[in-house]
Amino acid sequence: MEINLRRSLHRELNQREIFPFIGVYDVFSASIAAKYYDGIFISGFSFAASHYGLPDIGFIAWSDIVAFVQRVRTILPHHYLLVDIDDGYVDSDVACHVVSLLESIGADAVIIEDQKRPRRCGHFDGKQLLELDEFLEKLRKVLATRRELFVVARTDAADVEEILRRTQAFAEAGADAILADGIKDLEVIRKIKMQIDKPLVFNQIAGGKSPPCSLEELKEVGVAIVNYSTPCLFAAQSAIEDTMKRLRENDGRLEKKRVGVKDCTALLNQNLENRDASGGRSHRL
């Protein structure tokens, strides 16, 4: 039988002190991350890099992200999927359409932000914000459109007072959780937690503006969900660079690796079994 996905995620948040989501860049990386974590984050930064080879400044087409989520859901029928949908792809009607499609293929949650175009990664300078009323109108339409989907409202404001103003407004509009991105000081998280009674999301990205934190440290300041944007992408970049360098240095002779063709095929066969076991169903049973 089909379950209520939003209640399911709320129940998990009630049962867990903190819930990590691992950012992936393609279906293969998702299948590896899924061996260790049951929360998978469909990262905009990672997808832009993998699918287009371009920076995360607004190139993602909503149809591409929907197709990607559907492929991930097919091989991971029982994992929680949190999807970055940027600003909802500019237009409120498009945002609502994308939310409906993602929910229909089994996504559990989305993150929608208050940036305007041209957008930037949340940990870079030069971000521009929509007027608060304009974003709230979009957010309310998305909340009215979704059935059970869990909606995280994200602000990219840098000024602490503006962060507090916007997060309060997002909570009052009915967002299920709140994310303030690019936070440099965890005391800001404490301040947000004091003024709103909603789950707080914290974004971790290597080399970003926010300090690297353990789950225990984030739990202590009131964070409920941690999304790791790029661990798989950055690990792949480093490993591929090292492998290509050694291949060139070794005159094209392959080195014996921890992973070989049998190991890789075993993972792919497991994905095939997961797909067949799910019977093509999008939602967890």
For residue range 216-240, what is the model confidence (pLDDT) as tens digits? 999 999 999 999 999 999 999 999 9
In the chain the domains, ranked by start, together with CATH numbers, are 5-278 (3.20.20.60)
pLDDT of residue 214: 95
pLDDT of residue 2: 42
Angle at the Cα of 223 from the Cα atoms of 221 and 228, rounded to 5 degrees = 125
Q: CA end-to-end span of the chain, whole Å?
A: 6
**For residues 55 and 122, what is the distance between their CA atoms, to the nearest angstrom?**
12
pLDDT of residue 264: 83
For 39, 96, 154, 185, the CA distances from 108, given in Å and listed in that order, are: 10, 15, 17, 29
Question: Residues in the chain, how many?
Answer: 285
Angle between helices 261-278 and 62-75 in degrees, nearest 10: 90
Nearest to 20 by CA among 190, 224, 206: 224
pLDDT of residue 3: 42
Identity of residue 232? C
pLDDT of residue 122: 61
For 31, 75, 243, 258, 265, the CA distances from 262, given in Å and listed in that order, are: 16, 19, 19, 11, 5
pLDDT of residue 6: 45
pLDDT of residue 271: 87
pLDDT of residue 233: 97
Whether 114 and 137 have beta carbons less than 8 Å apart is answered as no
Tokens of residue 154, six digits: 């994200």
pLDDT of residue 229: 93
pLDDT tens-digit map of 30-64: 999 999 999 999 999 999 999 999 999 989 999 99
pLDDT of residue 46: 96
Mark the ranges of the chain whose per-residue pLDDT is less than 70. 1-7, 121-122, 124, 126, 279-285
pLDDT of residue 124: 64
